[in-house]
Structure 1
Amino acid sequence: MKYVIVLVIAIAAIAEGAIYTVGDDMGWMVPPTPDYYASWVSKYYFVENDTLVFNFEEGQHDITVLTKEDFDSCNMTNPLFQTPEPGAVSVEASDTFYFTCSFGQHCAKGQKFAIYFAPAPLPPSPSPSASAAADQSLETRLFKFVTEKKGN
């Protein structure tokens, strides 16, 4: 069964995020080279509200999030988040997150990546001329109301 896990809750953004399959076609496994997932991350630009889909065989891997210090040393004793099931992780905050697998030597063999999620882009604002026109029409209405001529 697949689950969507909200890793961090923040103020909801207006736009929905993109969906990325971790490792693309290879999925989430011990990689052929230690830098495989770092190379995978470098191909994309991640922002708040993006979703990472972790595909793996249950019981063979997990999804573990660590602090930078624990990630660097592959220390699994105090994970920030961990689930044994494949699924999707929606990241709703701008920050760097450190993902790995806690099974055996998987982390030491390169089944890990650090990923930065940039702030979600703001919704487009109206063009300056449209904005000025809207402000002008509002001012015009107020001006007409305020300066209404009353008898002499």
Structure 2
Amino acid sequence: MGSNVVVFVSYLLLMGFVCLSEAHTLYVGGKDGWVLQPCDGLNHWAGENRFQINDTLIFRYEKGEDSVLVVNKKDYYQCNKTSPIDNLTDGNSSVTLTRSGEFFFISGQADNCEKGQKLIIIVMSPQHPKPPTVIPPPLPSPTSVTPPSPAPAPAPGPALDKSTATAVHASVGTLWGSALLLAPLFMMSLG
């Protein structure tokens, strides 16, 4: 029983680290790319994706016809192009998301930002790499809990001495405590 538990716990830990370290490359705007889209299309695209630290965004656009400006929140809402954090102009620009929080992008072309060519990306914190996909059922209310029926008497068998019984009890307690601590990691590996 001991080696199986060690293998299981090791697997859970490994899966937790793998889930945290996966980085993805995402093409902004999908097949359309970084273009002026009606009805807030770029932010709709962003809302359909989950962004994590170390993900890379690829902005595809016609070189010389447009650009991507990385800006602060105020400049995003005012479409201020005068002092960007970064100015990307090569037509196939990439940005690696290096922290959690918000990132703001606007078009550098004429009045495209004012017409809606802008994007907010929200990067999830490392503690929450993916939203939970399994929601546990609600706990029963105290009035609906049925007391357990008494367990049947054990069949006659070899008796455990006090030291063996104490060791078994301690092992079960440790396993139960480990399972409770690792349950969130296991849930993340399922997502």
Provide TM-score, normalisation by structure 2: 0.55
1:53 aligned partner, one-letter code: I
| Cα distance in 2 between the residues matched to 1:82 and 1:118 | 24
How far apart, CA to CA, are the structure 1 residues paired with 2:86 and 2:80? 13
1:36 equivalent in structure 2: 41
| Structure (1 or 2) with the larger CA radius of gyration | 2
Structure with the higher helix share, 1 or 2 = 2
Alignment correspondent of 1:11: none
Percent identity between matched residues is 29
Structure 1 residue 122: Cα displacement: 7.9
Q: CA deviation at 1:104?
A: 0.1
- How many residue pairs align between the two structures? 115
Q: Which residue in the other structure is 2:64 paired with?
A: 59
- In the superposition, relative to structure 1, how do residues 122 and 114 fare at CA in structure 2: closer, same or farther (>3 Å)? closer
**Structure 2 residue 135 is matched with structure 1 residue 99:** no
1:108 counterpart residue number: 114
Alignment RMSD, CA only?
2.3
Aligned to 1:15: 21
Task: Find the residue that maps to 1:71 and give its secondary structure.
Answer: helix
Taking the aligned partners of 1:113 and 1:83, their CA distance within structure 2 comes to 14
Runs of 4+, deviation exceeding 4 Å: none
Q: Is the 8 A contact 1:34 1:109 kept in 2?
A: no
Once the two structures are TM-superposed, the CA of residue 78 in structure 1 deviates from its matched residue by 0.8
Flag structure 2 segments of 5+ consecutive residues without an equivalent: 1-19, 130-173, 179-191
CA shift digits 1:89-128 (9 cap, x unpaired): 11111110101111101111111011110123589xxxx7
* Structure 1 position 79 matched with structure 2 position 79: no
Tell me by how many angstroms 1:17 deviates.
1.0
Q: Any gaps of 5 or more consecutive residues in structure 1?
A: 1-13, 133-152
Say which SS state the counterpart of residue 70 (structure 1) adopts: helix
Corresponding letter in the other structure for 1:99: F
